[in-house]
Every structure is written in C-alpha cells, then in structure tokens.
Amino acid sequence: MAGGSAPGKLILFGEHAVVFGEPALSTAIDLRAEVYVRPHAQWLADGMSLDEPRYRYVKAAARRGWSGEPLWFEIRSMIPVGSGLGSSAAVTVATLAALGSLGGTFDPVAIARDAFEVEHEVQGRASPIDTSTATAGGGVLVRRDVGEGLLWTLRRDTRTWSLHRCDLPPLTFVVGDTGIGAATGPLVAGVKERVDRDPRMGEVVREIGGITLDGLGALLRKDLVAAGELMDRNHGLLNTLGVGHPRLDRLVEAARRTSYGAKLTGAGGGGSMVALTDRPEETRRAIGAAGGRAFAVATEPDGVRRLP
Ligand code: MEV
C-alpha cells in the first residue's frame, strides 16, 4: 500500500483573472486530503466503481499516473467539496503522489504538471493555481513572468504561468461556506464568454491582476487595512464578472464589520468567502448568524507528502 496527502487552498486575490494569465495569490490551508492505494483485482474507490462521477479526478489521475494492474483507492478528505477550497485539486495531487509512491517515484514538479493536466481534462479551461498550491503548500504567487522564488513554470496554448514561493506573514482567516456547491468548470467558461463578448470585462480581469500585486505588497508589509480594502474591491469585481451570489454578498457584508476585508474565494457562484481578521471568533459568529457555516483556517506550510 502507498499513500499521498495534499492541502486545500484559499485564493486571497486573483481567481478567474489567473485563468487569463493575470497574477493571483493563494495559500495552502490546514485542511488536507489523503489518498491510499493498493493493487486489487478490480478498479475501485472506497469500494465503489471508479466510474462514479465523484471519482472523476481520481480516475483521470490514475489514467495519467499509472499503467499497471487495477488498484483500490481510499479517499479521506477534510476539505468540503464544491466550496472553493481546492478539494478536487488536493485529491488529484494526493492521488498522483500515492501512485508515484507505489511506483517508487516522488517528484513534486511532475506531480504539479500532471495534476494541472488532470484538472484541465476534467474541468475544462483552468489555471494551475489550485493544483500547484496543493503541491507546493505555503503561499503561492502565480504570474506570467519569472521572478524570485520560482517553483516551476507551466504552459497551455498561448498562456504561461510561473509559480513562485511567497513568504506571507502569519495571517488569520475565517472562511464562510454558503453551503451552495458550485462546479468550477461552468463558472470559468461563463467568465470567458463574458470577456469574449464585452471588452470592458477584459479591463476588469486586468484590474483584478493589478489588485493582486497591490494586495501582495500590502500583505508583505503587514498593512492589513490596505489588504482588506483590496479584498473588498476584488470581491466587487468578481461580482461584475458574474461569479457572485447573493448569499456570498450576505456573508461578506456580515464579516466586514469585524474584519479588515472579505471576498468570495475560489470559483464563486456559491462556495465560500474568506475574511481577513484579527477577531476570528467574532467574525465566525457574524458569518454564522448570517447563515454561513464558518470556521477559522490556518495557513499550511506543507505541500504534497508521501504517506507510509
Ligand atoms: C478556482 O479555485 C480558481 C479559478 O481561478 C479557476 C482556475 O484558476 O482554474 C476560478
């Protein structure tokens, strides 16, 4: 038997814009997925058929990362599904790590590349931010050009993403889950349609890219007031791109009273919002009172791991 483990993620700035090649900033969080694998007479996941839709990332990862006999997978994940916290990416990365371990290899750069390909195959248009954050752990800055702290560069059609290690200061976040599951693929496709139809949407995408770099600067100099204001602006622009939801707005509004700023995180359309706060208990209660399932998360330095 072999196993792999990978963390979920929070996008702090730049989701959706990153798919167009704009910068984005994310951090791994202390909610992890674990996948165990062992040879078996049939292809199964948790004792069920690998053809079940919920195992499509595991199945695609197995096709890419394994050419031997059938396998039995066991998946254990603390990351809520469809909530914008990178559950599919973490399961994909953990599966590839488990398969690599079983075959006697463990190469995080290859895992990041394969996981991005798997996400593309299953989800459609995507950026590597989720899969690379699940692989690298810690803070990750994605941008087109290469800078200090380069982890790896990934390409697809005309787009290039260079993934960088980013040493964020310790920060406290509260996540509010709307409980509305939203699939990432259709949301990403919807934004592309809007951008293709309306040149002003292209401007919005570029503005989000600028906010990401300003937000990174604010966080690095520990100016949480400025970072929070930029999160608020990023949230408004995501609404303009059509990936908001009234329930997300309600949770964001409730959180802002006790936090520096708040925004939806991940693909939107439901899913989760994140607040940057130094009053996590009050923020958690405020989001809860507004109807969200709220919990504090810590940043997670560890990326993909092999499990014994
Ligand atoms: C989803 O967590 C992040 C998006 O930007 C999609 C992607 O980057 O693939 C919405």
Q: Could you tell me the pLDDT band of residue 203, with boundaries at 50, 70 and 90?
A: very high
Structure tokens at 39: 């040879």
Q: With 90 as the cut, is the pLDDT of residue 16 above it?
A: yes
Q: Could you tell me the pLDDT band of residue 258, with boundaries at 50, 70 and 90?
A: very high
Q: Are residues 161 and 181 in the same domain?
A: no
Q: Whose CA is nearest to atom 8 of ligand 1?
A: 127
Q: Are residues 135 and 180 in the same domain?
A: no
Q: Please give the tally of structural domains in the chain.
A: 2
Q: Whose CA is nearest to atom 9 of ligand 1?
A: 126
Q: With 90 as the cut, is the pLDDT of residue 48 above it?
A: yes
Q: Are residues 91 and 176 in the same domain?
A: no
Q: What is the CATH number of the domain that holds 277?
A: 3.30.70.890
User: Would residue 304 count as lying in a domain?
Assistant: no
**pLDDT, tens digit, 9 for 90 and up, residues 26-37:** 999 999 999 999
User: Would residue 306 count as lying in a domain?
Assistant: no
Q: With 90 as the cut, is the pLDDT of residue 54 above it?
A: yes
Q: Could you tell me the pLDDT band of residue 6, with boundaries at 50, 70 and 90?
A: very high
Overall average pLDDT of the 108-131 stretch: 97
Between CA 85 and CA 236 the distance in angstroms is 20
* Alpha helices (runs of H) in 129-170, residue ranges in sequence order: 129-136
**pLDDT, tens digit, 9 for 90 and up, residues 60-84:** 999 999 999 999 999 999 999 989 9
Residue of 91, 121, 129 to test ligand 1 pocket, by largest number of atoms within 8 Å of CB = 129
What confidence score (pLDDT) does residue 252 get? 98
* Alpha helices (runs of H) in the chain, residue ranges in sequence order: 56-65, 87-102, 108-123, 129-136, 184-197, 199-220, 224-240, 246-256, 280-289
Q: Are residues 85 and 161 in the same domain?
A: yes
Q: What is the mean pLDDT of the chain?
A: 97
Q: Are residues 63 and 82 in the same domain?
A: yes
Q: Are residues 179 and 147 in the same domain?
A: no
What is the DSSP annotation of 248-260? HHHHHHHHHTTSS
Pocket of ligand 1 (CB under 6 A): 11, 15-16, 18-19, 84, 126-127, 129-130, 184, 188, 266-267
Residue of 12, 81, 130 to test ligand 1 pocket, by largest number of atoms within 8 Å of CB = 130
10 Å Cβ neighbour count for 130?
32
Q: Whose CA is nearest to atom 2 of ligand 1?
A: 266
Q: Are residues 160 and 180 in the same domain?
A: no
Residue ending a domain, choose from 120, 137, 168? 168
Q: Could you tell me the pLDDT band of residue 128, with boundaries at 50, 70 and 90?
A: very high
Q: Are residues 224 and 241 in the same domain?
A: yes
User: Would residue 305 count as lying in a domain?
Assistant: no
Ligand 1: distance of its center to the CA of 171 in Å?
22
Q: Could you tell me the pLDDT band of residue 308, with boundaries at 50, 70 and 90?
A: confident
Overall average pLDDT of the 224-248 stretch: 98
Q: Are residues 157 and 177 in the same domain?
A: no
Structural domain range at position 250: 172-298
Q: What is the CATH number of the domain that holds 160?
A: 3.30.230.10
Residue ending a domain, choose from 130, 145, 168? 168
Between CA 125 and CA 119 the distance in angstroms is 9
**pLDDT, tens digit, 9 for 90 and up, residues 294-306:** 999 999 999 999 9
Overall average pLDDT of the 241-262 stretch: 98
Unique residue bearing structure tokens 């906010």: 211
Classify residue 266 as left (phi > 0), alpha (psi -120 to 50) or beta: left
Structure tokens at 24: 């984005």
Q: With 90 as the cut, is the pLDDT of residue 215 above it?
A: yes
Task: For residue 142, give the nearest of 127, 161, 119 by alpha carbon.
Answer: 161
What confidence score (pLDDT) does residue 99 get? 98
| DSSP strand pairing (2-13 vs 305-307) | antiparallel
